[in-house]
Structure 1
Amino acid sequence: MSKMSKIVETALEKKHREYMDNADKAREHLHERSLEEDEPYKIPKMIYHTKVESKDMFECQMLLFNEVEDCERLVIYLHGGAYVNEIRRPHIIFCDKLAKKVNACVFAPIYPLAPNHTYEETYEIVEKLYMHLLEMNKPIIIMGDSAGGGLSAAFAEYLAVKDLPQPENLILISPWVDITMSGDYDKVEYDPMLGVDGARELGKSWAGDLDPKDYKVSPLFGEVDKLPKTTLFTGTHEIIYPDIVEFYNKLKDNGVDAELNVGEEMTHVYPVYPLVPESKEAFQHIVEIILG
Structure 2
Amino acid sequence: MFVIKHQLKNRRTGTAALAGTVAAVGGYYVYRKQATNQSAASKCIEIIMRLTGVKMVLSDPKKFDKFIKTKRLEGDKPYSIPKIVRLKNPVKRMEYDDMIVYKLRPSETTGEQTSDRKQVLHLHGGGYILQPHKRHWHFLDKLVRRTGWEITMPIYPKIPHHSYEESFPKVLSLYKDMLKETAPEDIVLLGESSGGGFVLALAQLLKKEGLPQPGRLILISPWLDATVSDPDIAVFDKKDPLLAQHGLKGLGELWAGSDDPKNELASPINGDLQGLAPITLFTGTHDILLPDARNLKEKAEKLGVDIAYHEYPNMTHCFPLYPIPEADKALEQLISTVES
Category of TM-score, reference length = shorter chain = over 0.9
- 2:78 matched to 1:30? no
Aligned to 2:331: 283
> In structure 2, which of residues 192, 198, 204 is the aligned counterpart of residue 151 of structure 1?
198
In structure 1, the residue matched to 2:91 is 52
CA distance in 2, matches of 1:186, 1:27: 21
How many residues get paired? 291
Structure 1 match to 2:219:
172
Q: Which moved more, 1:197-206 or 1:30-39?
A: 30-39
- Aligned structure 1 segments of 4 or more residues deviating by more than 6 angstroms: none
TM-score (norm 1): 0.95
Say whether the 8 Å CA contact 2:76–2:161 is kept in structure 1: no
Of the candidates 41, 46, 59, which is equivalent to residue 4 of structure 1?
Answer: 41
CA deviation after TM superposition for structure 1 residue 48, in Å:
2.3
Q: 62-71 vs 264-273, which deviates more? A: 62-71
**Is 1:75–1:141's contact at 8 Å kept on the other side of the alignment?**
yes
2: CA distance, partners of 1:137 / 1:80: 25
What TM-score do you get using the length of structure 2 for normalisation? 0.82
- Distance, in Å, in 2 between the alignment partners of 1:100 and 1:40 is 28
Task: Give the letter for the 1:49 counterpart.
Answer: K
Q: Provide, for residues 64-88 of structure 1, a one-character-per-residue CA deviation record: whole Å limited to 9, x for no partner.
A: 1007873612111111111111110
Higher mean alpha-carbon deviation, 42-51 vs 206-215, is at 42-51
2:181 is paired with a residue whose SS is coil
Tell me how far apart the structure 2 counterparts of residues 69 and 120 of structure 1 sit (CA, whole Å).
37
Q: In structure 2, the residue corresponding to 1:183 is in which secondary structure? A: coil
In the alignment, the residues of structure 2 paired with residue 71 and residue 32 of structure 1 have an alpha-carbon distance, to the nearest angstrom, of 45
Aligned-pair RMSD on alpha carbons? Answer: 1.6
Is this contact kept in 1: 2:284–2:290, CA < 8 A? yes
Superposed displacement of residue 62, structure 1: 0.6
The 5-angstrom pairing of residues 113-262 of structure 1 reads 113-138=158-183, 139-184=186-231, 185-188=233-236, 190-262=239-311
Does 1 or 2 have the higher relative contact order (CA < 8 Å, sep 6+)?
Answer: 1
Rg larger for = 2
Q: Report the structure, 1 or 2, having the larger helix content.
A: 2
Alpha-carbon displacement from aligned partner over 1:122-172 (angstroms, at most 9, x marks no partner): 101110110000111331100100000011111111111222111100000
CA deviations 1:22-56 (Å, max 9, x no partner) are 33332221111111233332224554232112111
Work out which of the residue numbers 38, 55, 61 in structure 1 matches 2:100. Answer: 61
Say if 1:177 and 1:244, in contact at 8 Å, map to a contact too: yes
Which deviations, in whole Å up to 9, do the C-alpha atoms of 1:146-201 show, x marking residues without a partner?
00001111111111122211110000000000110110224425110111111101
| Aligned residues of 2:119 and 2:188 also touching (Cα < 8 A) | yes
- Partners in 1 of 2:298 and 2:137 — Cα distance? 31
Percent of pairs identical after alignment? Answer: 34
Write the distance in 2 (CA, Å) between the matches of 1:75 and 1:143: 7
Give the deviation of 1:103 after TM superposition: 2.0
In structure 2, do the counterparts of structure 1 residues 42 and 180 end up closer, same or farther at CA, with 3 Å as the change threshold?
A: same
